[in-house]
A and B are shown apart, each in its own frame.
Chain A
Amino acid sequence: MSGLPRGACPGSPNPDDLNRARFRAGIRFGIGVAAVVVALAPPVARILASWRLRSAVEGMSMRPTLEPGDWLLVDPGAYASRPPRVADLVAVPDPGEPSRWLVKRVVDVDADGRLELRGDNPAESTDSRTFGTVDAATVIGRPWARYWPVRRVGRVR
């Protein structure tokens, strides 16, 4: 940057060293960017996948956790790495009417891996007490975040 001829100023860095230093800085920057990309890829992929299953809550059976009118992100891959456990939220097809989806909480997992589901508001819920346990393999995904209403945006569990 100085524009001075080589060696004009004793003690100034050798331009070759300078280029090398810049090159290393470039590499470090590239590695940093790659690390950030790698670190962010799974959550971004998760949000994108969940966005495709964005769902509106209807009904009172999950109050106060979920209110009717809440808009949720439902992660279809959440239970790929591990099956649903007790206390997890699940979106499942209604065993009596599979085209419609239910949201309930797992309150028990039996020896065969079937899920006992319950509403958080059991007094106003139709759940495993009526339709029995459901096969964990039928689970559509895990509701994990609320993106509407604005005041209640955040994780749900």
Chain B
Amino acid sequence: MLRERIAAVARPRHTVHAHCDIPCGIYDPHGAEIGARTVARMVELINQNLGDDPNQRNQFIRCVAVKEQHAEIVKHEVRVIWGDYFKPEHVEKYPQLHDLVWRIMKQAGKCRQTVDAQAAAELQALVKQFADIFWETKGGRPQA
């Protein structure tokens, strides 16, 4: 009772915003990681040599199309976080960031051009590095 009365009197009348316009919470590199995993999985399926009947050929072509799309999704997701979320202070702390993003762009292109499992694994590894930096700036990766 008394506590409430005191709290009612002491409660601030104003708010001062120590704010950040960018709603940092909306950014998440998960999409890029899923994209890279999808690319790797498509490469795996394509290399299984599905066979020649129309259904299998259809399946094959779909895998190629999905690989194309998801390589682009990786590039898009990484580019948004890189361009919109990261601030100069982050780059100062992680000077490899720009080069890493550039290598992801290149590697995603390579994954579109080839069905190289090694290239797909490399893309996943680069995206993971990118995601790790992101989560370090946020104070840790949330527990899945």
Contact = CB atoms under 8 A, between A and B. Distances in A.
Contacts of A66: 18
A130 B10 contact: no
Given A122-B89, A123-B87, A147-B10, A55 B24 contact: no
Contacts, number: 82
A101 B90 CA distance: 27
Contacts of B10: 54, 71, 147-148
B18 A52 contact: no
B142 interface: no
A60 B13 CA distance: 20
B19 A55 contact: no
A119 B137 contact: no
A61 B89 CA distance: 13
**Range class of the B interface residue count:** 10 to 19
Interface of A: 52-63, 66, 68, 71-72, 74, 91, 94, 100-104, 119, 121-126, 130, 143, 147-148
Interface of B: 10-22, 24, 87, 89-90, 137
19 contacts: A54-B14, A55-B12, A55-B13, A56-B12, A57-B15, A57-B16, A58-B16, A59-B18, A59-B19, A61-B20, A72-B12, A74-B14, A101-B16, A121-B18, A122-B89, A123-B89, A125-B18, A126-B21, A148-B10
